[in-house]
Amino acid sequence: MKNYFSSNFKLGVLGGGQLGKMLLTETQKFDIYTCILDATYEAPCAQICNEFHLGDLMDFDTVYNFGKKVNLLTIEIEHVNIEALQKLEEEGLEIYPQPSVLKTIQHKGKQKDFFVKNNIPTSPHKRFTSLDQLKKETLAFPFVWKSAQFGYDGTGVKIVKNQNDLNSLTNTDCIVEDLIPFKNELAVIVARNKNGETKTYPVVEMEFHPEANQVEYVICPARISENVAQKARNIALKVANSFEHIGLLAVEMFQTKDDEIIVNEVAPRTHNSGHYSIEASYTSQFEQHLRSILNLPLGNTDSKVAGIMVNLVGEEGFSGNVVYQNIEEILKMDGVTPHIYGKKQTRPFRKMGHVTIVNNDLSEARKIAENVKNTIRVISK
């Protein structure tokens, strides 16, 4: 086995946001030397990694030259230059998740086609190269429109209810999906290493903000039957094994009215739906990501206690230097741990941090989570 610990080994990470920052907690725990590439010195990782490199993640030369400086490369965001990664891989650099996997997942149309080809249950869809092409098609309202690339946190996703909604869409490569009535939005994180060892985290349930289309609460374990939970874990494993993906894969799903599970989309990295694991699990998703990409034995994914995560996002009407109002009030509450991402500037709905609530009783944790949500405010000076 390679010596990754207290050695000359350099781990490269494309992206220096909050996911990278939480990953650095684990690289520091293991004393793994970590190099970060990000487009801004304001990135949450900039001041705390071993080496920080400034540059555009979508620029071929920047990504290629960064890759030449490290021994293994991973990502914390999937919007990266795939051609540079493919060339680095051809030249012998280990890159996880693999560039071929990223290329498919990066494009929502290719991702959906992959599900269909591999008999993974998903909602019916059609692909379009532009809004003009989409308008020529006769489609029944309502339907779900998704930009094929570069969407995130509700950006690039719209429910189209009428002609006005249709006219307001961006003219871009896109997919259209049937609007599926569902009971719950669920997610399962799967870890898979080079040896093919796989582990799933418990199924989590997501509650969404009605306007921002952002997750407000992630609840672990999901309040569903064991039968549905097992079905969700099996499908998530099938997705990871079909991709032969190495690293962490977050599989977002719908539980339909008939208790069927269909896959919505996947993220090939640590994910918002796994943040609860830092406090609630035996092995956090960030430690597990390291274990998987370094081909180390995977850790125990069980929860020690019930966990609920509350996203901290910028309040509407506030932009500028961030202030976390009433943070001392939530620190008085049992089992409450805030995580502040280190973004100095807030704006409406920007992800600024999260709070984890752990408790032996899930319903009690949910009450405390509501209290946290109603107490702390992310505003500006």
Kindly give, in sequence order, each residue whose CB lies less than 8 Å from that of residue 86, ignoring residues fewer than 6 positions away: 99, 100
Secondary structure element (H or E) that encloses residue 295, with its range: none
179 is in an annotated binding site: yes
Query: What is the DSSP code string of 344-361?
Result: SEE-TT-EEEEEEEEESS
Cβ atoms of residues 190 and 248 within 8 Å = yes
137 is in an annotated binding site: no
Question: Long-range contacts for 130-136 (Cβ within 8 Å, ≥24 apart)?
Answer: 130/171, 130/172, 130/173, 130/174, 131/169, 131/170, 131/171, 131/172, 131/174, 132/171, 134/166, 134/169, 134/174, 134/176, 135/166
Kindly give, in sequence order, each residue whose CB lies less than 8 Å from that of residue 215, ignoring residues fewer than 6 positions away: 206, 207, 208, 209, 272, 273, 311
Cβ atoms of residues 346 and 318 within 8 Å = yes
Cβ atoms of residues 326 and 361 within 8 Å = no
**Tokens of residue 205, six digits:** 């349930």
59 is in an annotated binding site: no
264 is in an annotated binding site: yes
Closest CA to 140 of 126, 153, 129: 126
Rounded CA-CA distance 290/269 in Å is 11
**Tokens of residue 151, six digits:** 């969407």
Residue 337 bridge partners (DSSP): 356
**Tokens of residue 129, six digits:** 């190269």
265 is in an annotated binding site: yes
178 is in an annotated binding site: yes
* 154: region left, alpha or beta (phi > 0 left; psi from -120 to 50 alpha): left
DSSP 8-state class, residue 62: H
360 is in an annotated binding site: no
Residues making up the annotated binding site for ATP are: 108, 146, 177-180, 185, 264-265
Q: Residues within the annotated binding site?
A: 108, 146, 177-180, 185, 264-265
